Amino acid sequence: MSTRLETLPDAQGVAQALAGLLAERLRQGGRAVLAGGQTPLPAYRLLGRRSLPWKAIELIPSDERCLEPESPERNDRQIGLALGQPEVRLHRFPAERGPALAAAQMEGVVTALLPFAVVVLGLGEDGHTASLFPGHPLGVEALVAPVYRAPKPPPQRVTLTPKALAQTSLLVFVVTGAEKREALERVLRGEPLPPNHIAAPQRLFLCDRAALPSLG
């Protein structure tokens, strides 16, 4: 597994770099995992303005919060609004049915999406990624897992597992802001945090200067 760190001056630079990378990886269509949360949304807005074969692109959030479909806090809604591309196929977890039913229902859908052209993940201040939280069970053989006591609200979620997230040639972590510096440092130092359990052949950390750890 190779790891590369690319540092941009600020969050806007990270957004531009991520949008360009996604446009390149999806230039002939394909399937990708998009991180939830706030960090990547500016990149998704830029990506949505690109001329791509949107009808030949299938996307899925890295995880979903077990909220009603119309909740503004749902990752699929935030991603869809940011992209603003009605022709793209954005798969949605039926997370409103609860973690177990949503995970069971999506296992076959995710199987059919593998392998991904690219996987984009965020990083939480505690070192979580998707809805894979430190100290929580990771070792599932499934591709999709239920989450019941997430430290980041809401507590009930559904997430792609390391087994699913590793099914790509390029795994990209997008990390901005000084509040993420410690978590990024711990991941890059190889601590047994969820990002380090995803064995994709290539990892790229796209970060701004504020998040750049002093690994001296």
Site residues (vs ligand 6PG, CB under 6 A):
35-39, 62-63, 65, 75, 122, 124, 128-131, 152
Question: Could you tell me the smallest distance in angstroms from the CB atom of residue 123 to ligand 6PG?
Answer: 6
Question: Could you tell me the smallest distance in angstroms from the CB atom of residue 128 to ligand 6PG?
Answer: 6
Question: Could you tell me the smallest distance in angstroms from the CB atom of residue 119 to ligand 6PG?
Answer: 12
Q: Report the alpha-carbon distance of residue 17 to residue 99 in Å, rounded.
A: 33
Question: Could you tell me the smallest distance in angstroms from the CB atom of residue 170 to ligand 6PG?
Answer: 17
> 30: which residues sit within 8 A by CB, 6+ positions away?
56, 57, 58, 116, 117
Q: Which is nearer to ligand 6PG, 115 or 155 (CB)?
A: 155
Q: Report the alpha-carbon distance of residue 107 to residue 146 in Å, rounded.
A: 11
Q: Which is nearer to ligand 6PG, 56 or 142 (CB)?
A: 142
Residue showing the smallest CB distance to ligand 6PG in the complex = 122
Q: Which is nearer to ligand 6PG, 52 or 156 (CB)?
A: 156
> 54: which residues sit within 8 A by CB, 6+ positions away?
85, 87, 88
Q: Report the alpha-carbon distance of residue 76 to residue 79 in Å, rounded.
A: 5
SS3 109: helix
With the C-alpha atoms ordered 96, 97, 103, 107, is the resulting torsion angle positive or negative? negative
Q: How many residues does the chain have?
A: 216
Write down the residue that tokens 């053989």 correspond to.
141
Question: Could you tell me the smallest distance in angstroms from the CB atom of residue 55 to ligand 6PG?
Answer: 26
Q: Which is nearer to ligand 6PG, 35 or 188 (CB)?
A: 35
Q: Which is nearer to ligand 6PG, 48 or 133 (CB)?
A: 133
Question: Could you tell me the smallest distance in angstroms from the CB atom of residue 110 to ligand 6PG?
Answer: 15
Q: Which is nearer to ligand 6PG, 52 or 157 (CB)?
A: 157
Write down the residue that tokens 């790891």 correspond to.
3
What is the crossing angle of helices 75-83 and 41-48, to 10°? 40
